[in-house]
Structure 1
Amino acid sequence: MKDGSVHSGSDIFSDIPGACAGGCTPSLLTGVSGLASYLGTLGVGGGSLSQDGTNWQAETVYTGTRTGFGYFKRLLEDNPAGIGVWDGGLPAQDGVSLAESGVTTDGTWNIGAGEKLVFLADGEVTIAGNIDVAPGGFLAVIASGNINIHPSVTKVEGVFISDGTIGTGISNQQLTGEGIFTGWEGVNLQRNLDDDSQTPAELFVYRPDLQLNAYRYLLWLGINWREVAP
């Protein structure tokens, strides 16, 4: 994980090889060090928790709102532009699209600066092609089921939220994920390179710009309007 934090409601385990060398950084958290929080156990194999030696960690339970499919669907029902139908393709216009069942993405996606897209799926989502989100753009994929990344995919960018698990796909190719990844039932790191001592099988990079550029009606403002005496 680069420039961000990681949380698990159970265990965190990343089997960093003790022979990690060359261009490999033998740490779970690299770059700007974040926090590893968990409820079970923390294991980093033969490596260390953080690259800079801070090793920030907390054994704690998440007590915030579970912001999953149902939460965001209710939030977006008031979207002034309405909600379109999602068949797995990339629509020509910004906005919100909904698949009433499981869906597989179609082709490679390139989200440009200024484009803002939200996809809801009441079922499982399979990411079948690479996804690139340029700075200034925004993409969110929110599923009531699992989000499965196809083994041939090597790059995904955006906000990915699953009520189930996020699976990286069994493959010997590296996967780079940039953005925010939430699997409420877990994140399964399934990639395994022929030589893990030089390059991590999965690399996740936190993208705070996606929060700044989020689709407007995806955000909730805690405003309580009350009539008061003049």
Structure 2
Amino acid sequence: MGKTPAELSIPAASISTEIPDIPVSIPSQLLERRPDIAVAERQVAAANAQIGIAKAAYFPTVNLSATNGFQTGTLSNLFTTAARYWALGPAAFALPLFDAGARGAQMAASIDAFDASVAAYRQTVLTGFQEVEDQLAALRILEQETEIQNKAVALAQEALKLTSNQFQAGTIGYLEVMTAQVVALDNQKAAIALLGQRLDASVLLIKALGGGWQASEIPNRDKIGGKTKWSQFLPIPIR
């Protein structure tokens, strides 16, 4: 800059960033908003439905056909109401007798897949609780460290003030002032680093909770699993 240190002056800027207020009690239902937990829960429901499909293979199947159309001896009456007809049948009844254990194996595989999905769901939930607890513990420990570091900053600034007064009185040299300045600066840097760690932990806590700690943001059953429509049970999907 082409200036001597005595000519250079940089004003001190205060840090106005504050740590968000975290309630003492956080409802565990907030974890239901996490995408990984919601996906694991839906996978359990899907695996449970597969068990029902495997059970349905043991029951007989009935196929019933129906026909309708127009039938007449004269062309002029072909599309009249009197020429319309409909017929129901024939019915086909099928009952599986022997499949070499295929249905039993499919049933056992569906149950095993359900058990595996339940275990994966439990592990996902436990991981979510662990992440929340880790960040809460980190915030608590960092808050205690910040209180101690703030006291160290205040003491270092007071020591710098006393050292500066002694230098102006001519009792000590400037080397002692520089040493006190370095100590004060190191303590201020440590305090800022702790503030950054607390902000990072707050963001990670919000992430672990799925987006905050407001109980009003807990999704209901329709938002988690979606609404069940009667058209879902038709052989042809209808929107």
Taking structure 2 as the reference length, the TM-score comes to: 0.24
If each structure's strand is expressed as a fraction of its own residues, which one has the higher value? 1
Q: Which has the higher contact order (CA 8 A, sep 6+)?
A: 2
Higher Cα Rg, which structure: 2
Give the structure-1-normalised TM-score: 0.25
